[in-house]
Amino acid sequence: MDKVFQSVFYLFLIIILFKLSQFAYRVIRERRYMKELAQSGMPYIDKMDGYQFEIYLKALFQQLGYKPQVTQKSGDFGADLVMKGKDKIVIQAKRYGVKNRVSLSAVQEVYGAKAYYKANQAWVVTNSYFTKQAKELAAACDVTLVDRADLQKFINEINPVFKAREIFENITPEPRKCPKCGQDLVVRDGNGCSSFPSCRHTEKINKEVSKSRPSL
């Protein structure tokens, strides 16, 4: 019986040690994730509007030695950014709510922009994730997809001299107009028309911001 008891005791001890090691691993992994999240500035990127996100990506690529090519104020042919360096890269910037996945239309647009601007590479960069269809089309069209995890890793590898917080706090968000009456949109429970209650147009704040933008 003593041997049986010892066997049971050792087995129980092994299980306890195994569970403790699992817990310690989860704690270490969580701390590492939170540290990398803070270093990347992702919480501030999530607060940006689309224009601020474009400015942030522009600064990020400039630190890598790329120079922005001026695009038209309207009718950008599917490229939010055109960066010239050792390669020319056209970029679609998608600052979405994390729950909203980027669809294949972004891949279609940037693929067309690649041809129009005679670029070497086409990227879609988001703080969110991509749909299955977007991934499949990107693989077929040789379009690079940079999702939330990729972006966080990309930022931490570059270790930019500027921080996402600086862009968020110092770059004024692009004014948004109500598509119904043309007045400014303001943030309430969602993006609402400033002429409320005469105009009751609202938009969800976790959707992508307006497509219109000034040139870079």
Tally the C-alpha atoms within 13 A of residue 196's C-alpha that lie toward its C-beta.
15
**Whole-angstrom Cα distance, residue 176 to residue 1?**
79
**What per-residue confidence (pLDDT) applies to 181?**
74
Lowest pLDDT segment from 7-21, 100-114, 134-148: 7-21
Q: What is the DSSP string of 99-129?
A: TSPB-HHHHHHHHHHHHHTT-SEEEEEESS-
The closest of 23, 52, 46 to 96, measured between CA atoms, is 46
- Please write the tens of the pLDDT for every residue from 137-178: 999 999 999 999 999 999 999 988 888 999 998 888 866 666
Q: Please report which helix (H) or strand (E) contains residue 60, including its range.
A: helix 50-63
% of residues, the chain, pLDDT over 90: 44
Q: Describe the strand order of the beta sheet including 191-193 as a list of residue ranges.
A: 185-187, 191-193, 202-203
186 compared with 46, residue with greater pLDDT: 46
Q: Which amino acid is at 123?
A: W
| Cβ burial, residue 201 (10 Å; 0-12/13-18/19+) | middle
Per DSSP bridges, beta strands 191-193 and 185-187 are: antiparallel
Residue type for 128, please? S
pLDDT band at 114 (very low <50, low <70, confident <90, very high): very high
Alpha-carbon Rg for the chain in angstroms? 23
Q: What is the mean pLDDT of residues 63-85?
A: 83
Say how far residue 39 (Cα) sits from the centre of its chain. 15
Q: How far is CA 2 from CA 5, 11, 14, 15, 71, in A?
A: 5, 14, 18, 20, 82
Which residues are paired to 125 by β-bridges?
A: 93, 146
Q: What is the pLDDT of residues 13-69, one digit of tens each?
A: 788 877 777 766 665 555 554 454 445 689 999 999 989 999 999 999 999 999 988
